[in-house]
Structure 1
């Protein structure tokens, strides 16, 4: 039971169970399946949410290569583009960025303690799949017992192919202090982490190394907000939801947990705020 609770909290919160808000720990299990609900099909792609981003971006005008440095409640934005600094006056601004970024852009909003966990994520491109023990087919999500990683998912699982080339995505959460983890990430080389990935997965797949064409490793120093005890019931967390003039906030950080569903809900809330003003 302890192992399962620790794994669950590492998976969703980048924390061990002992460091997790009791409410968040119960929420992990209580929200999995409601009365009368049925499990949905797995939705996954080799490039993760990039598939969704491209879909929503179709037909939209998107300005890339721009860094916003300040947002005022009157809708004025200060930004820097390839031709230098410029300003924009907007009717409404939806600020869908992590809390620590929003605090830099809007300095006078209510503050709360923000704690972020770091992650290492690797994509392994395999030209063939390892033989499965006991003849079991490759699962979508595979966990290695007692490993510091979370295991891996088969990013091509939804395509319905059990053989041939595939992409595995491997996850490693740093459950300790975020500032220490970020220093560890900066100090390690690509070769170091590629070896960590292979050694971890070779516990379950001894012949894996010979099947890997390449490994892509990414580090997320502020991978997700972490619900430590007391964080979810901080009055300032609720206050941070409120618009600041023409600025509307939308991000999963506002819930104190890093979940796709929370991000989606805050996006809808921000849109409703705009439609009623």
Structure 2
């Protein structure tokens, strides 16, 4: 009885309800199950939701609801928590749904980008304590916050919306920094490959700001090393100070 009941709620059009239950009562459960799950997914992926709604109104929201209903039917969630429905939906898109006709080429990247905001918002990670919030960022060791994700996408996902839907990725990737600051607000910042690499080098939390910039300079093409030594140090100082103010750098230590 339970299996038949659950199968019908997952796929009302495919699986008949238990014959002993009045359809009016089954309808209450059908609506509650689907509407709750759909509302969480729509709230977690608002841009994706808007792209799967026909702008001319001819097809309404059929494509969106078809995708969500397929998720409810096909995906076996690993977590029972509503807050993790978005992660379950992302897993479904990445591993189970497969490409479909009419899907935008940036679908998976956009979905991941939108999921990151919720993931950081509810993350249980905390800023490390005992760090200095001011001081010389070059002489002290910058400690990157555990609430920071440095991301790279082929498409400029932070700009995508109903009015901008590129069909081909640009020549250079998009680097984005998503972080939760000291006030627990989630922020976004577009960065470049140099900043992304600097944060990667700083993740060990063992090198001073000056040493990090020296390592960065060693990795640059020979021509850039010769022409931009002092400029790189000054750029790095300003960048590290900015990241410290934002909470991307959790603090400094000796």
TM bucket, shorter chain: under 0.3
TM (norm. structure 2) is: 0.25
The one of the two structures with greater contact order (alpha-carbon pairs below 8 A, sep at least 6) is 1
Q: Which has the higher strand share?
A: 1
TM (norm. structure 1) is: 0.24
Q: Which has the higher helix share?
A: 2
